[in-house]
Structure 1
């Protein structure tokens, strides 16, 4: 059994690392774009859905495992994901990468609360302590960049609301993803989000066409690079719960801030670097909690909580 636990730990380590690196590029792509946040979100979801069609076609037999109630939850999961992207992309247009992504550090707290309310999930004191270390470190990263202007404050609030939305998306998926493959689940959620966003853009009179080649390139990059993280996280929901995914995504503020310094010339001070190290340490020690014998029961035991985004 111990060897099986070690193998399980190793098997999720690499996917989590790839997920963090991939999702860190999302803020950079949004910053490079001049398109409305709702358009960026819509085409990201449409392109991602289209790219997944060949795989979903091979797994189409799994659709029979989805009952009417599941379709209802899949739609709302997609709705929450659509809200997350629109709110967060708009946040990035109003404030810095560091300020916007750092608020994602609150996601484990919101996820923990949601998991307790919906699934009666429990956690441990040691898990809470390691989560606190990571959150403190994440706050240090963006503290110097938190804006005092009206636009920056609005951007910070939008980022927080995007956290609530993505936690709803993850908590819903935590149960449904067990009935079908993560590919099929991801496709259904992305497709639902794309439809919701299309309806919104049409209703709001936002132009769906007429964007330059640069923007279409960014739409495609958003659909491929960061979306890889969401697909991986959906797959990982088979083995860990939503709070675990949320905790691992604390690596995004670190990666995104570093990329912003290199690609966007955003400034980073010494204590922000120290904060980034604290985030990584917090994530490491928190995930170490998941390596205890109980973690192999996560797929069937909803009460184990020691946590992605």
Structure 2
């Protein structure tokens, strides 16, 4: 039996669907902005923090004050890798298609699984291994197709891959931190550190951080509200009520939803290589998530590991 005994105030399917739709808009909003991606990322985090601050008092403030020095170091590292993820992944959208970039990003739980195997000695089942191989084969197919398009497409695929590795590191750190720190406090501190990293990067690069037209400020606010608050914060809240593996299935929604939106809004056709590779990725991730769900349903002492919730875009 698992420990998820609380009854949610609403049917979990409703906020889960809202979150899945919300994260699909992240690459679309990034494409609509002409500001440097590091400036977009900074304001995305800052506006998210503004929306979170009214809820930071009371028990959350007491929990923040009780964070141990060792956990502060982990929180700083988690914020740095989240900033690195946003920087690399958002930059990838300037080079490769939305479909390719988000398909590669959906490999996040696979990289988390690999990292957990080496760092935490988490066991790897046969189903999960087959799913991993299928998902990686799918990304290889997408990359092979993009290599025939242009060098820029391959650059974008590589940036997305590196950004996915960065967010996997962030999730491995989160797995360690969230055992002792409430999810709201974790998100608040990590988002603040991420915003600071972006500020330092923008200052060093000489990017202007203000004096943008109204359209850009609207995109910055929407990046905070739609994929962050209505996406990732909802997923963090759902961890109290449903299986992490169920929430992690949301990573499959982003490449599908974002690719459809990219086709409708930017006329980005989805190629044969992307369709074939995407089928491998989604099939592999589905098999992996099912293996994780089966593992999560087993008694705690018999589990290999518990899946982390998504971070994504």
Q: TM-score, normalised by structure 1?
A: 0.84
Q: For residues 73 and 4 of structure 1, do their structure 2 counterparts lie closer, same or farther at Cα, with a shift above 3 Å needed?
A: closer
Hey, what does 1:24 align to over in structure 2? 24
Hey, what does 1:88 align to over in structure 2? 89
Deviates further, 163-172 or 278-287:
278-287
Q: In structure 2, how many angstroms separate the alpha carbons of the residues matched to 1:270 and 1:133?
A: 17
- Whether 2:177 is the aligned partner of 1:176: answer yes
Q: For residues 206 and 275 of structure 1, do their structure 2 counterparts lie closer, same or farther at Cα, with a shift above 3 Å needed?
A: same
Hey, what does 1:292 align to over in structure 2? 294
Q: Contact 1:83/1:165 (CA < 8 Å) preserved in 2?
A: yes
Q: In structure 2, how many angstroms separate the alpha carbons of the residues matched to 1:262 and 1:295?
A: 40
Q: For residues 282 and 16 of structure 1, do their structure 2 counterparts lie closer, same or farther at Cα, with a shift above 3 Å needed?
A: farther
Q: For residues 305 and 159 of structure 1, do their structure 2 counterparts lie closer, same or farther at Cα, with a shift above 3 Å needed?
A: same
1:61 CA displacement: 1.9
Q: Contact 2:146/2:154 (CA < 8 Å) preserved in 1?
A: no
Q: In structure 1, how many angstroms separate the alpha carbons of the residues matched to 2:196 and 2:154?
A: 30
C-alpha distance after superposition, 1:185-215 (max 9, x if no partner): 1111101100111111112211011111111
- Structure 2 counterpart SS, 1:173: helix
Unaligned runs of 5+ in 2: none
- Structure 2 counterpart SS, 1:226: helix
Q: In structure 2, how many angstroms separate the alpha carbons of the residues matched to 1:125 and 1:248?
A: 23
Deviates further, 167-176 or 152-161:
152-161
Q: For residues 306 and 125 of structure 1, do their structure 2 counterparts lie closer, same or farther at Cα, with a shift above 3 Å needed?
A: farther
Q: For residues 99 and 281 of structure 1, do their structure 2 counterparts lie closer, same or farther at Cα, with a shift above 3 Å needed?
A: closer
Q: For residues 301 and 198 of structure 1, do their structure 2 counterparts lie closer, same or farther at Cα, with a shift above 3 Å needed?
A: farther
1:262 CA displacement: 1.1
1:275 CA displacement: 5.5
Q: Contact 1:41/1:197 (CA < 8 Å) preserved in 2?
A: yes
Q: Contact 1:28/1:259 (CA < 8 Å) preserved in 2?
A: yes
Number of aligned residue pairs: give it. Answer: 305
Task: Give the alignment of 1:51-70 within 5 angstroms.
Answer: 51-58=51-58, 59-70=60-71
Q: In structure 2, how many angstroms separate the alpha carbons of the residues matched to 1:156 and 1:73?
A: 29
1:132 CA displacement: 3.9
Unaligned runs of 5+ in 1: none
Hey, what does 2:107 align to over in structure 1? 106
1:248 CA displacement: 4.3
Q: For residues 110 and 274 of structure 1, do their structure 2 counterparts lie closer, same or farther at Cα, with a shift above 3 Å needed?
A: closer
Q: For residues 179 and 142 of structure 1, do their structure 2 counterparts lie closer, same or farther at Cα, with a shift above 3 Å needed?
A: same
Q: TM-score, normalised by structure 2?
A: 0.83
Q: Contact 2:4/2:243 (CA < 8 Å) preserved in 1?
A: no
- Structure 2 counterpart SS, 1:292: helix
Q: Contact 1:87/1:161 (CA < 8 Å) preserved in 2?
A: yes
Q: Contact 1:49/1:191 (CA < 8 Å) preserved in 2?
A: yes
1:26 CA displacement: 0.7
C-alpha distance after superposition, 1:264-303 (max 9, x if no partner): 11012467556655555544443333443743656x8883
Deviates further, 272-281 or 39-48:
272-281
Q: Contact 1:103/1:156 (CA < 8 Å) preserved in 2?
A: yes
